[in-house]
Amino acid sequence: MFEQITILGSGLLGASLAMSIHHAKIAQSITIWARRKETVDLCSSKTWCQHGEENLERSVIGSNLVIICTPVETIGGIARQIAPYLEKGTLVTDVGSVKNQICLDCEEAMKSSEGFFIGSHPMAGSEKSGMDFASKELVNGKSCIITPMKDAPVNYIQKLEEFWKALKMIVFRFSPAEHDRAAAYFSHLPHLLASCLSRHLDTQDPNWKKISGNGLKDTTRIAEGDPLLWQQIFQMNKKEILTSIAGWEKSLEEIKELLKGENKNELHNYLKIGSNFRKDLDK
């Protein structure tokens, strides 16, 4: 499917993708760029990395597909840096959880290059970060949102879709702006609430932790996620996230009123809607 794929960044997602690509046999050669020499050496020792590279520009030369797997704040800058070194027809994508700003920056960067950028967001995170937790199964069966701009050529869009599908992902298309609105509600808000709950419980009597079960653990699991990555995601999508919080606060006010009142049926009904919504998520 590809002669050479370059993965920029060897964290949880970068390394997991290399493993999946290797397993699915869709590239003759995988190059991985990492910032630190020790990481490059570690990657080079793996079966799923044919070439570890410390030099960013050199790492993309000769590749047909470049996947930027670095923290969201760095993606635009990396796109600008690699742009002059891309072969004709190279497809560039990323795995950032925010898309609007990244797509604008990366498409701007590609104007002076032979490559073409389309954003991706594979919905396959974990509260654990780093190569140690990487797995070829991480993306298997998960959703991947691709966010082509209106004028993106069909052949590039198809190539990107085929790539994610070859890794057994379920591919959906959103505009970058709609992705960010939807992600604010369905991904960033849940993370923010989990972080906020963990932050708040940290101020309470530590002895009370004894009264915590799987419910609390599930509800706060994602709060363990890398604080630096999430600080960047929150900052980059803050407008949409603040809107989603404001909307959500109305539902909080509603349940507070129901608690204060004595109408058990209405409270029951509120919880039933939430319960049914959650059941549907597993379908």
1 binds a second copy per the rule CB under 8 A: no
CA–CA dist 164, 168 (Å, integer)? 7
137 belongs to the binding site for a second copy (CB under 8 A): no
Taking the complex as a whole, the smallest distance from the CB of residue 82 to a second copy amounts, in Å, to 25
Whether the CA torsion 166, 169, 173, 175 is positive or negative: it is negative
CB of 108 to a second copy, least distance (A): 23
Interaction between residue 16 and a second copy (CB under 8 A): no
Position 88 contacts a second copy (CB under 8 A): no
Residue 256 sits in the site that holds a second copy (CB under 8 A):
yes
Our finding on whether 216 is near a second copy (CB under 8 A) is: yes
Stretch that binds a second copy, among 13-21, 30-38, 157-165, 225-233 (CB under 8 A): 225-233
Interface with a second copy includes 205 (CB under 8 A)?
Answer: yes
Per CB under 8 A, 121 contacts a second copy: yes
Of 32-40, 61-69, 111-119, 125-133: span binding a second copy (CB under 8 A): 125-133
Q: How far apart are CA 50 and CA 45, in angstroms?
A: 9
Q: Which of residues 166-195 bind a second copy (CB under 8 A)?
A: 172, 174, 179, 181-183, 185-187, 189-195
For residues 96-115, one letter each, b for 16 or more C-beta atoms within 10 angstroms of the residue's C-beta and e for the rest, the string is bbbbbbbbebbbebbeebeb
Q: Cα–Cα distance between 138 and 135 in angstroms, integer?
A: 5
Of residues 3 and 186, the one with the C-beta less far from a second copy: 186
> Which residues is 32 bridged to in the sheet?
7, 52
Give yes or no for residue 219 binding a second copy (CB under 8 A): yes
CB-CB neighbours of 214 under 10 Å: 7
Quick one: which of 79, 124, 152, 160 contacts a second copy (CB under 8 A)? 124
Q: Measured between alpha carbons, how far is 121 from 97 in angstroms, rounded to an integer?
A: 6
Can you tell me whether residue 5 is helix, strand or coil?
A: strand
